[in-house]
Amino acid sequence: MTGRPEEIGERIQDLTVRFGAEIMRALQRYNELLQRFASGELDETAARDAYAQFLRDESARYFRSVTEVGTGYYDALLELTSIYNPPFFEQVFHQARRTQQSPSRPHGSIVELRGSLGDEAVSAFRIDNASDHSEEISFVVSEFSGPPGTAPFRPPLRLQPPRFVLAPSQSQVVTVCLPLVSGVFVPDQRYTAVLTTHKRDSFDMTIDVFVNAASPVTVRQVPSEGGSQ
């Protein structure tokens, strides 16, 4: 029968005391044997026989005690296992589920922005909150780096919304807008930055920008309605 943890702990303590008492009793008997030999009550032959009997008795008693105490310990530990293991594994599996269901990172962890010089490049990503608590979300964007020889810079990038709170099981689409300003960006070049999402478990994404050359302006002559006279 499974008892309370306190009762099992008391049983283990009692087993420890009993085993210690058996050891002390054996030591006391051995000490008495030595005193009888020292006082001359036992001669060498009698002392040797008494000692042999002592070993036989105490060895049998010792192994019997070890078996009883060991079995008692084992049974008590099994009961403790039956009490604590289910909550323990339930907690472990719950934490594993929470880890698997934690707010997911956007697929690929890369935000791609493509556009021609003078346009506004737009992209979006989604943040999910599959945890059981609300998450306050905010963002920090690093400086942009470009081709070799280009100094780091901060273009007018916008995030919509820039900050929000996600309730459990909610998600939010975040839009990234970047004007590809002439004089800041150079056509046919790649630029990168790091977008850090701040929450309980912050993570980084890469902003990858590629600027196309501006679309050429095509001039086409249109005949007049009346035609030439």
Write out pLDDT tens, residues 125-157: 999 998 899 999 999 999 999 998 889 999 999
**pLDDT band at residue 59, thresholds of 50, 70 and 90?**
low
> Which pLDDT does position 78 carry in this prediction?
55
> Which pLDDT does position 1 carry in this prediction?
44
152 within 8 A of 186, measured Cβ to Cβ: no
193 within 8 A of 155, measured Cβ to Cβ: no
Of 219 and 183, which is predicted with more confidence?
183
Q: Which of 92-96, 158-162, 179-183, 194-198 has the lowest mean pLDDT?
A: 92-96
pLDDT at 226 over 50: yes
Q: Taking the model in full, what pTM does it have?
A: 0.48
pLDDT at 223 over 80: no
Which CA distances in Å does 115 have to 101, 124, 180, 194?
A: 35, 14, 7, 19
**pLDDT band at residue 88, thresholds of 50, 70 and 90?**
very low
DSSP per-residue string spanning 90-114:
HHHHHHHHHHHTSPPPPGGGEEEEE
The residue-averaged pLDDT of 53-65 equals: 66
Of 35 and 74, which is predicted with more confidence?
35
pLDDT at 193 over 50: yes
> Which pLDDT does position 105 carry in this prediction?
47
